[in-house]
Amino acid sequence: MKIAILGTGNLGVSLAKGLIFSNAFTSLYLTKRNSDAIKDFEEYSKVKVTADNREAVQNSDILLLSVQPTQLERILEEIKDLLTDKHVIISTVTGFKIPRIEAIIGEDQFIIRAMPNTAIAVGKSMTCLCCNEKGKKRIAIAEAIFNRLGTSIIIPENKMQAATVICASGIAFWMRLIRATSQGAVQLGFDAKEAQQLAVHTCLGAASLLIESGKHPEEEIDRVTTPRGCTIEGLNEMEHNGLSSSLIKGLQASFKKINNISEK
C-alpha cells in the first residue's frame, strides 16, 4: 500500500509510528507545513517527508487526512484536481462530515471517515469508521489498515461524534483514571515508578479479562468483592463520591462540546 498522511501533527505522528512498526506500507509520505519538525522519520526506509501535499498525493493511493477541522477545506481544494480512481480518502478530522467533503471533492470519490486514537502508535487503537456510498467499495481497505493497528468497527456517520468522545478523547479520560490510581498507590506507600506499574498493569488486566471473556464488568467485580471485605468498602465509597456519575457527566459534557464545535 502506498500511503500518505497529510497533516502529520499529534495524531499523524501516532499513525506514522503505528504504520512503521507494523510495516504496513510499500511507501509512506508524511506532510506537514513545517516539515523539518518531522524530518527524523526519513531515517526509516520507504518514508518520505515533505511540505508538498500534491507530491504526496501523486505518489500515493491511500490518503490519510489528519489536519485540524479549519484546515481541511484548504487542503482538499489544494489536492482535488489530482484525485483519481486509485485514491482512497480517509479523514480523521473531527466533525467534518462526509457531505461537506463531497461538496469540495465530489461524490464520485472513495471517502472514508476514521476516528482512531493516539494508541495507534502502539497498535492498540479503537477506531470507528464510516464512509460515503462509493466508499463502501473500499471500506475493507480501511478496516485492514486499522485492524492491523488495533481494532475497528464500522458505524453510521451520525455516531462519529459520540465515538470521538469515547475513543479519541477517551485516551485522556483513561489516563486521568490511571494517574489517580497511581496517586492513591503512592499514598499507600509505593514509590512513583512502582505505583504507575501497578496501576497500568492492573488496568490492562481488567480490560483483557473483558476482551477475552466478553463478560459484563459486574460479573468480574463479583469475583473480587469478598463480603464485608475491602473491595466493596472501596467501591461503595467511590460511588458515594460520584465515580460513575462523574465519568458519565464528563462524557456528556465532552459530547455537548463536540456538537457545538462542529456546528460552527
Ligand X SMILES: NC(=O)C1=CN([C@@H]2O[C@H](COP(=O)(O)OP(=O)(O)OC[C@H]3O[C@@H](n4cnc5c(N)ncnc54)[C@H](O)[C@@H]3O)[C@@H](O)[C@H]2O)C=CC1
Ligand Y SMILES: O=C(O)[C@@H]1CCC=N1
User: Annotated binding residues, as ranges?
Assistant: 6-11, 53
Q: How far is the CB of 195 from ligand X (least distance, A)?
A: 25
Cα–Cα distance, 149 to 157 (Å, whole number): 21
Angle between helices 243-263 and 170-187 (to 10 degrees): 150
Residue of the chain from 5, 16, 31, 112 that contacts ligand X (CB under 6 A): 31
Q: Which does 67 bind (CB under 5 to 8 A by kind): ligand X, ligand Y, none?
A: ligand X
- C-beta neighbour count of 158 within 10 angstroms: 9
CA dihedral 25, 95, 174, 172 (to 10 degrees): 90
- Contacts of 257 by beta carbon, 8 Å cutoff, 6+ apart: none
Q: Which does 91 bind (CB under 5 to 8 A by kind): ligand X, ligand Y, none?
A: none
Cα–Cα distance, 142 to 147 (Å, whole number): 8
Coil, helix or strand for 251?
A: helix
Number of residues that bind ligand X (CB under 6 A): 26
Q: How far is CA 173 from the centre of its chain?
A: 13
Segment interacting with ligand Y (CB under 6 A) among 43-51, 162-170, 218-226, 239-247: 162-170
Does 127 bind ligand X (CB under 6 A)? Our answer is no
Residue of the chain from 3, 5, 11, 130 that contacts ligand X (CB under 6 A): 11
Site string for ligand Y, 164-203 (x = CB under 6 A): x---xx----------------------------------
Q: How far is the CB of 168 from ligand Y (least distance, A)?
A: 4
- Contacts of 177 by beta carbon, 8 Å cutoff, 6+ apart: 203
Q: Which is nearer to ligand Y, 204 or 261 (CB)?
A: 261
Please report, as ranges, the residues that interact with ligand X according to CB under 6 A. Answer: 6-12, 31-33, 53, 66-69, 71, 74-75, 92-94, 115-118, 168
